[in-house]
Structure 1
Amino acid sequence: MKWTDVQEIAIQLADRHPEVDPLRINFVDLMNWVVALPEFDDDPKHCGERILEAIQQAWIDEAD
């Protein structure tokens, strides 16, 4: 999984952290959780605020 796999990342985060409100997560934690996903295989340096915002929004959509 790469940073561009926003939807798949959001699904996995929702599954692994069902108790978390994605509206309240800070981007540092979000990035760390993405990098810690077992199937994630991308360079953490390729992450930016826009990618994290997209992941957060997809997670919010997934939670609805």
Structure 2
Amino acid sequence: MTWHDAREIGEALFDQFDTINPLTVRFTDLHKHVLNLEGFAGKAHESNEKLLEAIQMAWYEEWKDEYGS
């Protein structure tokens, strides 16, 4: 996985943090969570706000499907 795999990352984050509403997670924390995912091969400096937002939205879609909102 790299920063451009928003859907896959979102699913992995939901698997790991399923009860957290992704919209409450700061981008600095999201960045750390992504870097710590098993199988993530991206580099810290390769991310940007647009990529983090796409990841957060993919995670939110997974969360919303489970918990509704």
Say which one has the larger Rg: 2
Deviating runs (4+, > 4 A) in structure 1?
none
Question: Paired residue for 2:67?
Answer: none
Gaps of 5+ in 1: none
Question: Paired residue for 1:29?
Answer: 29
- Aligned residue for 2:23, secondary structure, equals coil
TM-score after normalising by structure 1? 0.95
Equivalent-residue separation in structure 2 for 1:27 and 1:40 (angstroms):
17
Gaps of 5+ in 2: 65-69
State, as a whole percentage, how many aligned pairs show the same letter. 38
Q: Residues 1-64 of structure 1: matches in 2 within 5 Å?
A: 1-64=1-64
Question: RMSD in angstroms over aligned alpha carbons?
Answer: 0.7
